[in-house]
Structure 1
Amino acid sequence: MVDNAKRALQVQHDANQPARESANLNSTAARAKRWLIAHYPLLGSLLTQFELVEDADVCRRMDIGIAAIHVGAGEIYINPLRALNLESAKFVVAHEILHAGLCHSSRRQGRDPYLWNVACDFVINDWLVTMGLGAPPEGGLLFDEELRGWAAEDIYLRLAGDLRIRRRLSTLRGGDCDMLDDTRGRFFTDREEFCKRALLQGLDHHQASGRGTLPSGLVEAIRTLNQPPIPWQAKLAEWIQERFPLPERKRTYARPSRRQSATPDLPRPRFVEPEDQRATRTFGVIIDTSASMQRDELGKAPGAVVSYSQAQAVRQVRLVYCDATPYDEGFVSIDSLAVRATVRGRGGTVLQPAIGLLESRRDFPKDSPILIITDGMCEPQLTVTHDHAFLLTTENRLPFVTRKPAFAMS
């Protein structure tokens, strides 16, 4: 309680601080900010908590061509040497504040910072152009009608496929990120939480006051961002349920019902599960047992696998431990996996041999999926032909881009 109160007082104190002595309240950017607060409730409550910094020396030191934002410091930097007109200033200020409200810095999650920044710019600029909010500055617009309606994550994947394109793209800062937050500290996280709430409140006020229509993608992004994240356990359970729906039981007179003795003159069949389905209801589990994996993580992840597999009537999995060498444990019953305590490995991390071992085994069904449990400290690329997913330990990310599900333990 005391810590929360202190943080709240600190945020309020920072918000009430006077503007910099060198701040020009009549500058084009300052007028653009006031116009946005007065005419765009969507951005108003968020913009009031950010200070404009229009200092040529600061922009030169930070290599800011047009504009940039630092969420943790609560500052938007505008290069006064660019001499933006009012319409361009509106566009630039709105662009930067949307980076803050949509939490783009923390949503990067291990991606290349610059390409992620560029992907977010494509999305934001498309929304601003659709709304007709201001006018893009010359030489500072990333916009492509072909990417209209795309999510930032999908645009990033497209950009990552051709790294040469990086030389032809630039943000409002120039050849570097215009989102200046490099790390996520406590204060930065608290301010991002405030930004999310402020943008959602602004959206409700904007729509209630009838201030005009907004792009459906922007509205969806704001609402989705303020929904509680789906726990990784639920995502893992859904992944298992999709691949192993409960088998349809069939009646057979070969095995009489337990109630048969009560009615000896009336045959009663028993419901049974088909033996052929029972034999094929299995999947591969590769567990990274390198030294970088924490012991509690080595217990938590298999525990979740056991729980959700039992719920879907999966009775066995093909288990492979792997550090620098795979250790094939063969088919292991779910019940024994729940109490298994001995692991093999604790060396370096090379996962590809374990994947190759599973996919080459004749006794492993070709359509069975594979779950790879790792901390992400592995090869920069993996080749997996089977359907698969990744279960990652807390706050870790894969060293490569994948379209397959990747669940992060929390």
Structure 2
Amino acid sequence: MMERVTKARTRLLMSQPFFGVLALRLQIQEACDMDTMSTDGSSIFVNPDFVQQLSDDELIAVMAHEVMHCAHLHPYRREGRDLLLWNMACDYAINSILKESGFILPDGALLNQAYSGMSAEWIYADLLDKRDGQSPQSNSLDPGGCGAVTDPQESTGHEQTASDRKQKETAWKHAVIQAHQTAKASGRAPGGMDRLIRDIKKPKLDWRILLARFINARDHSDYSFSRPNPRFLHQDIFLPSLENQKLEELVIACDTSGSVSQEEIDQVNGELNAILQTVRPASVTVLHCDFEIKKVERFTPDSGTVTLEPVGFGGTDLRPPFDWCRENGVMPDAILYFSDLLSHQWPDVSPAPVLWITPNQRKAPIGETISLQYG
């Protein structure tokens, strides 16, 4: 079995040097506990029974598939997401590129043209929205049957430190650039790689990661002596306990002026459901606003799947949501404002940290601003 895998890697090197050069960076290890194959960024773990089921062309494609997980840094980008759903999202992100490059993927490979060119983070969020925040149920980590991706592991079996992971990630970036240059020089650079190379050379952080970090920064869980740790009280030892003060109140302001498209409104709806299911604040208040507050809705994580029906579509004034909070005595942990920012009416101050989420490159004069980026 190992000899056949090694021959497949050699054929990959000869026929598709970009993938082959990168495949040489990965150690091949037998792993009978895997259903198919997997990679953690350092090795390819191979189930011998799975290899026997594949044709030579399919085996080469699966090797390239594992290489693509590493080239796209998938082992380093999960950030706590559900591992099975993350594998599905990563497969959708790379399989269309592999198919375009002429690889013959095994039957059942996850392919969806709608996800072509999208990042794994964007696809993951879309899959999560479509499943009402629930992770898919499967007995296999690799529902597409092309090879899985796992978190980086040390040889001892423990997770790598943040510093080690960063070094590995940087090494892969350099390797991908060099492999692309080698393949390009031979006239056999695969299609669909230019965007990957561009993103590596000029990286941009997926806006969903920025959104998650902004919200998580508002989580006030901390150790406190106000409630001593009960595990040690019988020894007359007073140690702090973790006070889990999760987000109580989020306010989401939805710009429903005439300049906002239905696609942008749908985006707000999707993010609201993702926040309710993953962040699970005690309460989320949604304010529909054009030049004034047109509708107020409140939701909790128990509200189920939420479908917003915005009203307004008049002129734009971005001040009313902030005024509404003050007038109603609402002091949220954070305010998220989805808007195209096409307004001359801005608030002077905010009663809470505010994050503006916009589909363009405009920047709000107060708070933080992030652009919707899907690369």
What is the TM-score when the length of structure 1 is the normalising length? 0.49
- Classify the secondary structure of the residue corresponding to 1:167: coil
Q: Distance in 1 between matches of 2:219 and 2:113?
A: 47
**Out of 214, 222, 226, which is 2:201 matched to?**
226
**1:146 and 2:114 correspond:** yes
Aligned to 2:27: 51
**1:199 and 2:176 correspond:** yes
Query: 8 Å contact 2:338–2:356 — kept in the other structure?
Result: no
The count of corresponding residues between Structure 1 and Structure 2 is 248
Aligned to 2:279: none
The 1:226–1:169 alpha-carbon spacing in structure 2 relative to 1, beyond 3 Å, is farther
- Classify the secondary structure of the residue corresponding to 2:319: coil
Q: Distance in 1 between matches of 2:98 and 2:219?
A: 48
Aligned to 1:254: none
Q: Deviations over 1:51-76 (max 9, x none)?
A: 222x3xx32xx3x22211122xx221
Q: Distance in 1 between matches of 2:28 and 2:145?
A: 22
Q: Deviations over 1:27-48 (max 9, x none)?
A: 1x21110011222221233221
- Classify the secondary structure of the residue corresponding to 2:94: helix
- Classify the secondary structure of the residue corresponding to 2:191: coil
Q: Distance in 2 between matches of 1:175 and 1:136?
A: 9
Aligned to 2:220: 290
Aligned to 2:305: none
Aligned to 2:48: 80
Query: 8 Å contact 2:93–2:120 — kept in the other structure?
Result: yes
Aligned to 1:116: 86
The 1:169–1:146 alpha-carbon spacing in structure 2 relative to 1, beyond 3 Å, is farther
The 1:137–1:177 alpha-carbon spacing in structure 2 relative to 1, beyond 3 Å, is closer
- Classify the secondary structure of the residue corresponding to 2:67: helix
**1:69 and 2:35 correspond:** no
Equivalent residue letter for 2:58: S
Equivalent residue letter for 2:92: F
Equivalent residue letter for 1:50: L
**Out of 380, 384, 389, which is 2:355 matched to?**
389
**Out of 27, 39, 53, which is 2:15 matched to?**
39
Equivalent residue letter for 1:227: K
Residue 126 of structure 1, CA deviation: 0.8
Q: Distance in 1 between matches of 2:9 and 2:338?
A: 53
Which runs of 5 or more residues in structure 2 are unaligned?
A: 153-158, 212-216, 224-241, 252-282, 294-317, 325-331, 340-353, 358-368
The 1:383–1:66 alpha-carbon spacing in structure 2 relative to 1, beyond 3 Å, is same
**Out of 313, 320, 328, which is 1:366 matched to?**
320
Query: 8 Å contact 1:65–1:79 — kept in the other structure?
Result: yes
The 1:137–1:369 alpha-carbon spacing in structure 2 relative to 1, beyond 3 Å, is farther
What is the TM-score when the length of structure 2 is the normalising length? 0.53
Aligned to 2:100: 130
The 1:87–1:169 alpha-carbon spacing in structure 2 relative to 1, beyond 3 Å, is farther
Residue 85 of structure 1, CA deviation: 1.6
The 1:46–1:124 alpha-carbon spacing in structure 2 relative to 1, beyond 3 Å, is same
Residue 79 of structure 1, CA deviation: 1.9
Alignment of 1:225-264 (within 5 A): 225-227=200-202
The 1:138–1:196 alpha-carbon spacing in structure 2 relative to 1, beyond 3 Å, is same
Q: Distance in 2 between matches of 1:358 and 1:101?
A: 41
The 1:349–1:386 alpha-carbon spacing in structure 2 relative to 1, beyond 3 Å, is farther
- Classify the secondary structure of the residue corresponding to 2:28: strand
Cα RMSD (Å): 4.6
Aligned to 1:340: none
Aligned to 2:228: none
The 1:138–1:389 alpha-carbon spacing in structure 2 relative to 1, beyond 3 Å, is same
Aligned to 2:245: 349
Deviates more, 1:104-113 or 1:85-94: 104-113
Q: Deviations over 1:357-376 (max 9, x none)?
A: 999999x9226699xxxxxx
The 1:290–1:37 alpha-carbon spacing in structure 2 relative to 1, beyond 3 Å, is same
**1:190 and 2:164 correspond:** no
Query: 8 Å contact 2:337–2:356 — kept in the other structure?
Result: no
Residue 153 of structure 1, CA deviation: 2.2
The 1:204–1:81 alpha-carbon spacing in structure 2 relative to 1, beyond 3 Å, is same
Residue 119 of structure 1, CA deviation: 0.6
Aligned to 2:269: none
Residue 192 of structure 1, CA deviation: 2.6
Equivalent residue letter for 2:19: L
- Classify the secondary structure of the residue corresponding to 1:34: helix
The 1:110–1:225 alpha-carbon spacing in structure 2 relative to 1, beyond 3 Å, is farther
Aligned to 2:149: 179
Q: Distance in 1 between matches of 2:57 and 2:145?
A: 24
Name which one, 1 or 2, has greater alpha-carbon Rg. Answer: 1
Query: 8 Å contact 1:51–1:75 — kept in the other structure?
Result: yes
Q: Distance in 2 between matches of 1:93 and 1:173?
A: 17
